[in-house]
Each structure stands twice: as C-alpha cells, then as structure tokens.
Amino acid sequence: MSDKHNITFSKASFKDFESIPDLDVFQRAGIFKDFTDFMHTDGQMNFRFVTNGCGPSIEVRSPYHDAPKECVSLVSNDYLNFTQHPEVKAAAIKGIADYGTGAGASPLIGGYHTYHLELENKISAFFGRPKESSIVYTTGYTANSATLLALLGEKDCAIVDMAVHASIYEGLLHTNIKRFPHNHTDRLERALKESQSRYLTRLVIIDGVYSQDGDFARMDEIYALTKQYGAYLMVDDAHGIGVIGKNGRGCIEHFGLLDKVDIISGTLSKAFGHIGGFIVSRPEIANYLKFQSRQQVFSSTATPASAGLLKAMDLIDEEPHWRYALAKNADYFKKGLLDLKLDIGSTESPIIPVKIGDAHKTAMAARLLFDAGVYANCIVYPGVSRKDARIRTSLMATHTREHLDKALNAFEYVNQKLKISKYERHT
C-alpha cells in the first residue's frame, strides 16, 4: 500500500493498512507463518481472536488455523453464563420491545429513563443500601475512572494497591498517588502514617478479587487500617460480585463489610452477563457524581436491553446453584492443576492463573493449548510484571467435567512439552 496511508501518533505508528486489518488480510500477507511473528517485542499479541459468543465451549477463529476451531473456553468473565440464560435474554428482549434500542442521550440531558432509575434502585437494594446510593455508568472501566476523576483533586491522595485495575489508575491523573505492594498491609500502614494531615482526603483503593491472580484483598485488615488512620476505602469488586460471598454480594460480603466500605465499584459485564458499571456509596456521593462526573454529562449509559440485568440480579438469589456449580468447577480445576504440579499462585476465586514466568514460553503454552482445543489467555507484560507471565484461566458455572478434563489433559500435554511445572520450569 502507498505511503499516504501511514499515520504516526506520538505513541504508535500505523503502516500500510487503510484500516485495522482482519485475519484474512494478515493471512494473505503471510504474516502469521510462525506464531512468534505476531508477538510484539514485548510479547503482546497484536491479533484479536474472533469467537461465536460466550459459553463453556465455543468456536474460535485464530491466526493458527484456517478454519474456526471448537475450543473449551477459559477466557470469559461470564462466570455464571447469564449471557445465555433464557430468562435474562427474554427480559432484555422485553426491555427493547418496551423502550427501543438506545438511551438517546447522556443521563443528564434526556437519556435517563425509567429503566435507568429501576436499575440504580435495584443495585442499591442488592447491596442493602438506600435507594439513592447508586449510579450506573457505561462500563466498569468508566465507573472507576470517572468517579475518581470527579472526586479526587490536587489536595487529596489515593493510596492504591499496585495490582489494582488499569481503570483506577486512569482516574488518578489529577491527584496525588501512593502505591503499596500488592496486599502488603504493613506498607499500606506506612503510607497512611506518612500521609497523615498532609491531604484533605485520603482514599485507599483496592480490588476485591485481583483480576490476574484471582486472590482476595486482605480487606478486613485494610478496612481496619483505613478507619484507624482516618482514610476512606474504595473496593473495585468487579470479579467478586455475583460470584463470591454466601449471597453472591462479592468479596465485600465475604469479609462482612457490605455496609461499611465507603465506595463499592462493580461491573455489569461479568457475573451479570451484560455491559455497564456502577458505583454504590453514600447517597450524597452518588448524587454528586450524577451531576459532577463528566461521563454522566457527556456520555450515554445503559441501553434498554439492560432490563436483562434486573433479571440477572434476581437470579443471583433465585438460582444460587449457578454460583455453587462455579465454585465446584473452580475447586475441581484447581485440584487438577495442582496434581500436575503447576503453579497456580494464591487464587481463591474462579480466576486461576498457571504461572510460567517466561513470556515466550507462556506464548508457546497458549499456542499448544489452542492446538489441543483449549482457548486460554497468555498474560504477559504489561498486564503483569515482566517475569510473571502466565496462562490465565477463568471458569464458568456451565463447564462440564468433560470440558474441564479436556483442559486438564491439554495442560498435562503442555507440561510434558515445555516443562512448565513449578519444579521443572527454572531448570
């Protein structure tokens, strides 16, 4: 292609393609002749796999094979598989029938409809808070970034666990930041002591379940420290809500802090099987965000299909067997991986990493798994630190024993080929 198509931004240069090229273009260009060819120097993939939807076993178009391949899926956050639940689908369809397909405007200028109000009230009730305690955003990512941008300024300080989600960091562009190593409460305490009386407000920010390791925050200790030092606590429980806790209210419920955490952030795109994000806090904070958060003024939120979410939230209580099935699957799969002597870190959730360390070896493992009919993500820097590459798996309530055994057999095969077990991988 001619030079006129080259575009250079300060962060990236796009050469030779008029638009984002699809698989066929890459294949015709012979770019994928060797799988290492499509890794950036960082080890980052530059290709998006195309699947036929969310489910425990799905069809995947990849750069590896000409035809789509049926694979056990270990990549989805649709933990309860509610994207496919007939009652959730029916409610979403009814939402569209009743209201149409879009919100029409941002919430503050005409795009706030009955179903938005219902959704916010439902979310508040789900967490046992007063009706006006919640606000819905377009995504979980936006809920975090927009809320923090609206709340924290140059006189405040965010004290964050280093492993929090990228969307949190994006919200901290205009405030002071102190970071503490993942779950190191002594370092958090030091940061709280050092920052005392230097800032107007100090907000400690953690995830409930950490998205790459699947471990929990040491939330009880962290909460106690925030109270001891007069700080506030925000928990992003994107991976815990709907999945963890006796009643599926998340990691916050697990630690008995449902009515105590100052700001709860969640997503509607994982256990609830839809799209969107939310904040639950004190009514005055939620109300402030409704008017002061730029994304509420300039960006539309939930579509009428989010009526499906109302049903999904009911199902957390009405059909707890999905949550139990998920926990059972996670236990079975963890045990299988441990029997293979693989390093799964300290996961306590359906997110189960298989830690390999070396990025190149991890990419090879992902490829071998794929050939064996198992689709799992290769997570490398900057998703995790450079020496901590891993295959990240996440389980669903609808995986069957056959699916899980197929995946375990594939990991056994990969271990034989690449020696990725804890005891062999450094030799």
Which one among 88, 160, 238, 330 touches ligand PLP, defined by CB under 6 A?
Answer: 238
The interface region with ligand PLP, picked from 66-74, 218-226, 233-241, 394-402 by CB under 6 A, is: 233-241
CA distance 254 to 275: 24
Q: Tell how far CA 245 is from the center of its chain.
A: 18
Minimum distance, C-beta of residue 194 to ligand PLP, in the bound complex (Å): 27
The reply to whether 76 sits near ligand PLP by the rule CB under 6 A is no
306: β partners:
none
Which one among 134, 267, 296, 398 touches ligand PLP, defined by CB under 6 A?
Answer: 267
Query: Closest residue (Cβ) to ligand PLP?
Result: 140
The interface region with ligand PLP, picked from 26-34, 133-141, 296-304, 371-379 by CB under 6 A, is: 133-141
Which one among 139, 147, 394, 421 touches ligand PLP, defined by CB under 6 A?
Answer: 139
Question: Measured from the CB atom, is 269 or 295 closer to ligand PLP?
Answer: 269
Minimum distance, C-beta of residue 118 to ligand PLP, in the bound complex (Å): 20
Minimum distance, C-beta of residue 170 to ligand PLP, in the bound complex (Å): 11
Which one among 79, 126, 141, 255 touches ligand PLP, defined by CB under 6 A?
Answer: 141
CA angle 255, 182, 155 (to 5 degrees): 90
CA distance 243 to 221: 22
Question: Measured from the CB atom, is 142 or 421 closer to ligand PLP?
Answer: 142
Q: Tell how far CA 335 is from the center of its chain.
A: 24
279: β partners:
135, 265
The reply to whether 137 sits near ligand PLP by the rule CB under 6 A is no
The interface region with ligand PLP, picked from 184-192, 219-227, 236-244, 401-409 by CB under 6 A, is: 236-244
Which one among 145, 167, 226, 398 touches ligand PLP, defined by CB under 6 A?
Answer: 167
Q: Kindly state the DSSP code that residue 193 receives in the 8-state scheme.
A: H
Q: Kindly state the DSSP code that residue 380 receives in the 8-state scheme.
A: -
The reply to whether 169 sits near ligand PLP by the rule CB under 6 A is no
**Do 201 and 156 meet the contact criterion of CB atoms below 8 Å apart?**
yes
The reply to whether 277 sits near ligand PLP by the rule CB under 6 A is yes
Which one among 140, 240, 273, 350 touches ligand PLP, defined by CB under 6 A?
Answer: 140
DSSP states along 284-339: HHHHHHHHH-HHHHHS----GGGHHHHHHHHHHHH-THHHHHHHHHHHHHHHHHHH
The reply to whether 248 sits near ligand PLP by the rule CB under 6 A is no
Token pair of 144 as six digits: 């975090």
The reply to whether 269 sits near ligand PLP by the rule CB under 6 A is yes
* 280-319 positions binding ligand PLP, by CB under 6 A: none
Which one among 61, 116, 165, 399 touches ligand PLP, defined by CB under 6 A?
Answer: 165
Minimum distance, C-beta of residue 122 to ligand PLP, in the bound complex (Å): 17
The reply to whether 211 sits near ligand PLP by the rule CB under 6 A is yes
Token pair of 208 as six digits: 């409930």
Minimum distance, C-beta of residue 402 to ligand PLP, in the bound complex (Å): 28
Instruction: Identify which of 332, 278, 286, 271 has the alpha carbon closest to the alpha carbon of residue 302.
Output: 278
Which one among 120, 156, 236, 358 touches ligand PLP, defined by CB under 6 A?
Answer: 236
- Other beta carbons within 10 Å of 223: 22
Q: Kindly state the DSSP code that residue 5 receives in the 8-state scheme.
A: G
| Spatial CB neighbours of 110, under 8 Å, sequence gap ≥ 6 | 104
| Alpha-carbon distances of 111 from 102, 297, 304, rounded to whole Å | 9, 10, 11
Instruction: Identify which of 290, 318, 311 has the alpha carbon closest to the alpha carbon of residue 117.
Output: 290
**Do 190 and 181 meet the contact criterion of CB atoms below 8 Å apart?**
no
The interface region with ligand PLP, picked from 14-22, 124-132, 232-240, 291-299 by CB under 6 A, is: 232-240
- Residue 178 dihedral angles phi and psi, to the nearest 5°: -125, 135
Instruction: Identify which of 275, 300, 426 has the alpha carbon closest to the alpha carbon of residue 361.
Output: 426
The reply to whether 353 sits near ligand PLP by the rule CB under 6 A is no
* Number of amino acids touching ligand PLP (CB under 6 A): 14
Question: Measured from the CB atom, is 133 or 349 closer to ligand PLP?
Answer: 349
Binding site for ligand PLP (CB under 6 A): 139-141, 144, 165, 167, 207, 211, 236, 238-239, 267, 269, 277
